[in-house]
């Protein structure tokens, strides 16, 4: 089992999902999201993790983000980029990777706030076709980061077995 903390976009994701269905192997596992804590493969006590998340989020209030534009990651993923609000997403990510999560921080890889649209590690030639396709969709979204979801994922079948929602306080 592993845990991950994500933000599910509170927008109509129909166009994103249509594209992801074709290019993202995790399409059936999870809705469009921005990952704030990447899957933790080692066991962490759920109650301690929950306390840590609640403690970090108590200092936050909802904030807006704007997703627009695309970028290819170093490992052949196609990202829909967070433009406005990117600094807040990075700060929240960094705040979460303190305390009991500090040892899991990926200090050698910069955190890039994004929504994954597709994976092209097995078919790099398909990337240029997918990029042209996604540009025609005119994906441009503004939304409010007001709640996060802690997911528990099975490592064998890659299924979400439960989710716990955390609402950001309206005043921090």
Give a yes or no: residue 54 inside a domain. yes
Give a yes or no: residue 114 inside a domain. yes
pTM for the predicted model, two decimal places: 0.93
Q: Which residue range is the domain that position 143 belongs to?
A: 2-167
Q: For residue 122, what are the contacts with CB-CB under 8 A and spacing of at least 6?
A: none
Give a yes or no: residue 138 inside a domain. yes
Give a yes or no: residue 130 inside a domain. yes
User: What was the pLDDT predicted at 172?
Assistant: 52
Give a yes or no: residue 101 inside a domain. yes
Task: Please state, in angstroms and as integers, the Cα–Cα distance from residue 26 to each residue in 2, 7, 31, 92, following that order.
Answer: 16, 16, 9, 24
Give a yes or no: residue 172 inside a domain. no
Bridge partner list, 162: 152
Query: Could you tell me the strand order of the sheet in which 63-72 lies?
Result: 114-119, 77-82, 63-72, 140-145
Give a yes or no: residue 53 inside a domain. yes
User: What was the pLDDT predicted at 44?
Assistant: 86
CATH number for the domain including 11?
3.90.1140.10
Q: b/e per residue, 47-73, with b = 16+ CB within 10 A? A: eebeebbeebbeebeebebebeebebe
Query: Dihedral of CA 6/62/86/23: which sign?
Result: positive
* Number of folded domains that form the chain: 1
Q: For residue 24, what are the contacts with CB-CB under 8 A and spacing of at least 6?
A: 116, 117, 118, 119
**Closest alpha carbon to 25 in 128, 158, 130:** 158
Report residues of the chain scoring pLDDT below 70. 42, 156-157, 172
Q: Give CA–CA dist 98/52, Å, rounded.
A: 9
Give a yes or no: residue 81 inside a domain. yes
Contact 150, 164 (CB under 8 A): yes
* Assigned token pair, 22: 């074709």
Strand 114-119, strand 140-145: pairing: unpaired
Question: Which tens digit of pLDDT belongs to each residue from 99-145?
Answer: 999 999 988 888 999 999 999 988 777 998 999 999 999 999 999 99
């Amino acid at each position: 089992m592993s845990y991950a903390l994500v933000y599910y976009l509170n927008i109509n994701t129909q166009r994103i999902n249509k594209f992801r269905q074709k290019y993202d192997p995790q399409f059936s596992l999870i809705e469009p999201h921005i990952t704030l804590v990447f899957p933790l493969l080692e066991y962490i006590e759920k109650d301690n993790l929950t306390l840590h998340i609640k403690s970090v989020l108590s200092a936050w209030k909802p904030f807006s983000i704007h997703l627009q534009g695309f970028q290819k990651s170093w490992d052949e993923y196609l990202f829909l980029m967070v433009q406005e609000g990117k600094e807040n997403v990075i700060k929240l990510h960094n705040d979460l990777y303190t305390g009991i999560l500090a040892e899991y921080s990926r200090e050698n890889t910069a955190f890039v706030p994004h929504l994954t649209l597709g994976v092209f590690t097995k078919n790099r030639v398909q990337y240029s076709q997918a990029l042209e396709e996604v540009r025609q969709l005119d994906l441009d979204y503004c939304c409010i980061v007001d709640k996060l979801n802690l997911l528990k994922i099975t490592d064998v079948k890659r299924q979400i077995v439960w989710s716990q929602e955390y609402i950001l306080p309206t005043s921090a």
